[in-house]
Amino acid sequence: MFHVTETTTFRWFSVHSAGNIKKNYDPTKSDKRGNYRTATITIAKK
């Protein structure tokens, strides 16, 4: 569970149960291929 108090963008990618990452994406490096999903949670001001 995440507690979000300000507008935040989450990024994630999937790893196969065998440990294979699609198209050899490496999140530890400056991999610019964008092999990840994103979702932005926007907190509206009252």
Q: What is the pTM of this model?
A: 0.56
- Please tell me the predicted confidence (pLDDT) of residue 2: 83
- Please tell me the predicted confidence (pLDDT) of residue 12: 82
Residues 5 and 9: their CA atoms lie apart, in Å, by: 12
Residues 25 and 45: their CA atoms lie apart, in Å, by: 37
Q: Which amino acid is at 33?
A: R
| Higher per-residue pLDDT: 33 or 16 | 16
Cβ distance 44 to 35 under 8 Å? Answer: no
15 — pLDDT class (breaks 50, 70, 90): confident
6 — pLDDT class (breaks 50, 70, 90): very high
If DSSP codes are grouped into helix, strand and coil, which group holds residue 4? coil
Checking if the pLDDT of 8 tops 90, the result is: yes
